[in-house]
Amino acid sequence: MSSSIFIFGAGGVAREVAWIIDDINKVEPKWDIKGFLVDGKCTTNYIDKIPVINGLNCLKDNQSPKVIIAVGSGAKRAEIASRILSINSETQFPNIIHPSVIKSNLVSFGVGNIIYPNCVITTNVVIGNYNQIHIASVLSHDSIVKDYVTILPGCNISGNVVLNEGCSLGVGSKIIQQKSVGRNSFIGAGAIVINSIPEGVLAVGIPAIIKKKY
Ligand SMILES: CC(C)(COP(=O)(O)OP(=O)(O)OC[C@H]1O[C@@H](n2cnc3c(N)ncnc32)[C@H](O)[C@@H]1OP(=O)(O)O)[C@@H](O)C(=O)NCCC(=O)NCCS
- 104 backbone dihedrals φ, ψ, rounded to 5°: -85, 170
Distance 68 CA to ligand 1 centre (A): 28
Which residue's C-alpha comes closest to atom 36 of ligand 1?
188
Same CATH fold, 97-207 and 3-87? no
Q: Give the torsion sign (CA, 105, 147, 52, 171).
A: negative
Tally Cβ neighbours within 10 Å of residue 12: 11
Tally Cβ neighbours within 10 Å of residue 132: 28
Distance 188 CA to ligand 1 centre (A): 5
Which residue's C-alpha comes closest to atom 37 of ligand 1?
188
Mutation probe of ligand 1 site: the residue of 202, 209, 213 with most atoms within 8 A of C-beta: 202
Q: What is the pLDDT of residue 42?
A: 72
Which residue's C-alpha comes closest to atom 27 of ligand 1?
204
Closest to 80 in 3D by CA, of 123, 45, 48, 37: 37
Instruction: Return the ligand 1 atom nearest residue 212 CA.
Output: 14
Task: Assign domain 3-87 one CATH number from 3.40.710.10, 3.40.50.20, 3.40.140.10, 3.30.1050.10.
Answer: 3.40.50.20
Distance 145 CA to ligand 1 centre (A): 23
Q: What is the pLDDT of residue 109?
A: 98
Q: What is the pLDDT of residue 61?
A: 82
Name every protein residue with a CB atom under 6 angstroms from any ligand 1 atom.
Answer: 152-153, 170-171, 186, 188-190, 202, 204-205, 211
Give pLDDT tens digits for 138-151: 999 999 999 999 99
Q: What is the pLDDT of residue 118?
A: 98
Distance 204 CA to ligand 1 centre (A): 7
Fold of 97-207: UDP N-Acetylglucosamine Acyltransferase; domain 1 (2.160.10)
Distance 163 CA to ligand 1 centre (A): 19
The ranges of the chain with pLDDT < 70 are none
Provide the b/e sequence for 13-34 (b: ≥16 CB within 10 Å).
bbbbbbebbeebeeeeeebebb
Distance 174 CA to ligand 1 centre (A): 15
Domain boundaries, the chain: 3-87, 97-207
